[in-house]
Amino acid sequence: MLDTIAAALEPHGLVPRGGFVFGAADDTPVMPDGTRARSVVLVGHFGLSIWPAFTAWRRDNPGVANPLDTWSKQVLNAIASEFGGYAVFPSDRPYLPFQQWAMRAEGLRPSPLGLLIHPQYGLWQAFRGALLFPQSIAFAPLPENGHPCDVCASKPCLSACPVDAFDGETYAVARCRDYLATEPGQTCMEGGCLARLACPVGLQYAYLGDQQRFHMAFARS
């Protein structure tokens, strides 16, 4: 089943990013028919993979508010329906524990910036949603990946921000947003978050050009 889901996601630059079967102790989400979900498949992307499909959709749908969330919902709702599942999203309220699900599905851990870090793709990855299913799905065992931040002595991500918005524990959101509104802050707005770019893990997968500017514009809003 995961292979056929992957094939349906591929034209959109999306991939299944692991999953798990809910246990008896989990606060399991409810499906539209009122029953509890049994399995969840996380869906996301790495690097530039979604950008061609998303920008093509955006050209055909100008002026849409929250375009990336809207596109993600359009794509994943259709795929969930095709496979007899139900799609849920990080922007949905009440909020679902997507970060905990992601850590459980792929074994990821947070970086000092608070973002989950992937051992290959670094900080250049994201989760766009999840597919809930009423049945159990067989998942491969998680690989034994070490946490890349454990072997990074210098932690350049913590010293690269011009306004010291990160201290390894918290993120000074207001300080970051205020800086992005200044003339010096346009370096970040145009080229991307300097703290994120300072991480050496997976830097070859960093967002480029329009993709960086798109995400920075939403970070400022």
Mean pLDDT rounded to a whole number for the chain? 95
pLDDT at 102 over 90: yes
Where would I find the beta strands (DSSP E) of the chain?
15-21, 39-46, 86-88, 109-110, 116-117, 125-133
pLDDT at 5 over 90: yes
In whole angstroms, give the CA distance from residue 195 to residue 157.
Answer: 5
Q: What is the pLDDT of residue 218?
A: 77
Report cis status (omega within 30 of 0) of the bond before 94.
yes
Q: Helix %, strand %, coil % for the chain, to 5?
A: 40, 15, 45
The residue-averaged pLDDT of 77-98 equals 96
Q: What is the pLDDT of residue 220?
A: 64
In whole angstroms, give the CA distance from residue 131 to residue 102.
Answer: 13
pLDDT at 221 over 70: no
Residue 168 tokens read as 């390894």
pLDDT band at 145 (very low <50, low <70, confident <90, very high): confident
The residue-averaged pLDDT of 65-83 equals 97
Beta bridge partners of 171: 166
Within 10 angstroms of residue 39's Cβ, the number of other Cβ atoms is 19
CA torsion 135→140→143→144, rounded to 10°? 80
Q: Which SS3 state, helix, strand or coil, does residue 8 take? A: helix
CA torsion 192→198→200→205, rounded to 10°? 0
The Cα diameter of the chain in Å comes to 53
pLDDT at 79 over 80: yes
Percent of the chain clearing pLDDT 90 (strictly above)? 93
Alpha helix ranges (H) inside 138-207: 173-180, 186-191, 194-198
The C-alpha angle with vertex 94 and arms to 88 and 99, in degrees rounded to 5, equals 60
pLDDT band at 25 (very low <50, low <70, confident <90, very high): very high
Which DSSP letter does residue 39 get?
E
pLDDT tens string 37-56: 999 999 999 999 999 999 99
- Residue type for 101, please? W
Sheet holding 125-133, edge to edge: 15-21, 39-46, 125-133, 86-88
Q: What is the pLDDT of residue 52?
A: 97
The residue-averaged pLDDT of 141-157 equals 92
Closest among 88, 150, 90, 144 to 117, alpha carbons compared: 150
pLDDT tens string 158-193: 999 999 999 999 999 999 999 999 999 999 999 999
pLDDT tens string 105-126: 999 999 999 999 999 999 999 9
